[in-house]
């Protein structure tokens, strides 16, 4: 892989991240010009109390002075203080990050089973398996996550009692070690299945389209003309060349892992990034929203960078463009 290709992609990622930092700062101040008034609405604060809160949360001075201070904080790894609880934003995000990675990461891995189904459907285009699986994938892809979550929660948690109704673990549980992991896995399984149902259709549709596109290539006909079996043609030629769009989709989706799923996490009371975002919006908690927006944007940018580099590795023609 050419060094110029890597440097070009790195420069693009860094410039995009710089734009996100600027956009992130000014967006929330345009939408919410006086966060102190919004956060403490309904309370009779004196002018001196408002001034003290404005100074404490670095909302005093001109917008330029605030922006310079914000960038300096970022360079130190400081995302400011949360309006709610007066806690460092880094701590708020750190508490919510691992549950989201656990939930959405696991559900994404489950959903990637759709890749194999999509390859098979594309290889056997027009068959009963193709028709059935494609129809089901379109159905699951079109269903809203919150609706799937409410239906499965009502059936398997509230009515049948097979799963807990929400949370990361049982309240008041004193379990430790492996027992604690089993308890958390039991709580995680149903929301993970909900997200997997929503994602699997997307993976299957993309994999099927990539396989159909690959089947039009002449080198597959040449491989068959040489006497190669269909299974070998599919495994050695069709699948490796159909994986490029799937690799890009997988990398980008893993970038969205840290964003969580606001609807599903709220329905299942899962203490992750999605629920933290929902709570911060209701506040509104400007520093937490800024920190979450920056984290999610950075994760997507890094995932896109990885996808571009993998694409260049898998298809050398991209590097030469």
Amino acid 57: pLDDT: 63
To the nearest 10°, report the CA torsion of 36, 39, 41, 46. Answer: -40
Classify residue 259: in a domain, yes or no: yes
Query: What are the pLDDT digits (tens) for 283-319?
Result: 677 788 888 888 888 888 888 888 777 776 666 665 5
- Report the C-alpha gap between 273 and 21 in whole angstroms: 19
H/E element holding 276?
helix 273-282
Expressed as residue numbers, the domain containing 283 is: 91-315
pLDDT digits (tens, 9 = 90+) for 55-101: 666 666 677 777 887 888 888 888 877 877 778 888 888 888 888 88
Between 224 and 12, name the one with better pLDDT: 12
Task: Specify the DSSP element, H or E, that contains 26.
Answer: helix 3-31
- Residue 275 resides in a domain: yes
- Tokens 């939408």: give the residue: 31
Task: Return the pLDDT at 32.
Answer: 57
Burial class (CB in 10 A: 0-12, 13-18, 19+), 97: middle
- Residue 17 falls inside a structural domain: no
CA atoms within 13 A on the CB side of 193: 14
pLDDT band at residue 54 using 50, 70 and 90 as cut-offs: low
Residue 228 lies in a domain: yes
Task: Report if residue 52 sits inside a domain.
Answer: no
150: confidence class by pLDDT, cuts 50, 70, 90? confident
Residue whose token pair is 């990461």: 105
Name the residue with tokens 């919004």. 38
Region 268-291: mean pLDDT is: 82
pLDDT of 137 over the 70 cut: yes
Q: Which two tokens stand for residue 109?
A: 């891995």
SS3 content of the chain, % helix, strand, coil (to 5): 75, 0, 20
> Is residue 111 a contact partner of residue 199, using CB atoms and an 8 Å limit?
yes
**Mean pLDDT score, 155-176:** 78
pLDDT of residue 259: 63
Distances (CA, A) of 147 to 140, 151, 152, 193, 202: 11, 6, 9, 13, 17
The tokens for 118 are 């999509």
| Residue 164 pLDDT level (bands cut at 50, 70, 90) | confident
Residue 35 in contact with residue 286, Cβ under 8 Å? Answer: yes
Task: Look at residue 260 and give its three-state secondary structure.
Answer: coil
Contact indicator for 260, 272 with CB cutoff of 8 Å: yes
Residue 93: how many CB atoms within 10 A of its CB?
20
Examine residue 137 and state whether it is found in any structural domain, yes or no: yes
Residue percentage of the chain with pLDDT more than 70: 74
The pLDDT score that the predictor gives to residue 3 is: 77
Report residue 170: phi and psi, to 5°: -65, 135
Residue 25 resides in a domain: no
Across all residues in the chain, what is the average pLDDT?
Answer: 78
The CATH number given to whatever domain includes residue 257 is 1.10.3720.10
Length of the chain: 321
Band of residue 8 on the pLDDT scale cut at 50, 70, 90:
confident
> Is residue 2 in some structural domain?
no
Pick the more confident residue, 194 or 26: 194
Q: Please count the structural domains in the chain.
A: 1
pLDDT of residue 50: 65
pTM listed for this prediction: 0.74
SS3 call for 88: strand
Closest CA relative to residue 123, chosen from 11, 212, 3? 212
Positive or negative torsion for Cα 312, 303, 185, 161: negative
Higher pLDDT residue, 239 or 127?
127
Backbone angles phi, psi at 125, to 5 degrees: -55, 135
**pLDDT at position 106 over 70:** yes
Quote the pLDDT of residue 321: 54
Integer Cα distance of 270 and 166 in angstroms: 7
Between CA 276 and CA 307 the distance in angstroms is 28
Res. 105 pLDDT band, cuts 50 70 90 = confident
């Amino acid at each position: 892989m050419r060094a110029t290709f890597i440097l070009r992609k790195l420069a693009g990622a860094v410039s995009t991240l710089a734009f996100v930092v600027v956009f992130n700062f000014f967006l929330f101040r345009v939408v919410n010009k006086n966060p102190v008034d919004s956060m403490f609405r309904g309370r009779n604060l004196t002018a001196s109390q408002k001034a003290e809160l404005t100074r404490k949360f670095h909302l005093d001075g001109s917008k330029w002075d605030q922006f310079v201070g914000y960038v300096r904080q970022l360079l130190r790894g400081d995302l400011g203080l949360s309006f709610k609880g007066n806690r460092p934003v880094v701590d708020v995000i750190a508490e919510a990050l691992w549950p989201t990675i656990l939930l959405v990461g696991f559900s994404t891995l489950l959903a990637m089973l759709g890749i194999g189904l999509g390859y098979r459907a594309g290889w056997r285009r027009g068959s009963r398996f193709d028709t059935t699986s494609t129809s089901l994938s379109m159905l699951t892809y079109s269903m809203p996550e919150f609706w799937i979550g409410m239906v499965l929660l009502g059936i398997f948690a509230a009515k049948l009692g097979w799963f807990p109704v929400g949370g990361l673990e049982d309240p008041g549980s004193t379990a430790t070690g492996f027992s604690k992991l089993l308890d958390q896995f039991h709580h995680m399984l149903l929301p993970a299945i909900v997200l997997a149902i929503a994602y699997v259709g997307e993976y299957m549709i993309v994999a099927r389209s990539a396989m159909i596109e690959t089947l039009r290539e002449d080198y597959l006909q040449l491989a068959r003309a040489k006497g190669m079996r269909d299974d070998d043609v599919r495994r050695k030629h069709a699948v490796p060349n159909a994986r490029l769009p799937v690799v890009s989709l997988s990398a980008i989706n893993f970038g969205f892992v840290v964003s969580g799923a606001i609807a599903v996490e709220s329905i299942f009371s899962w203490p992750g990034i999605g629920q933290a975002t929902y709570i911060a919006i209701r506040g509104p908690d400007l520093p937490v929203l800024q920190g979450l927006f920056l984290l999610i944007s950075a994760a997507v940018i890094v995932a896109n960078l990885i996808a571009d580099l993998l694409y260049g590795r898998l298809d050398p023609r991209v590097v030469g463009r």
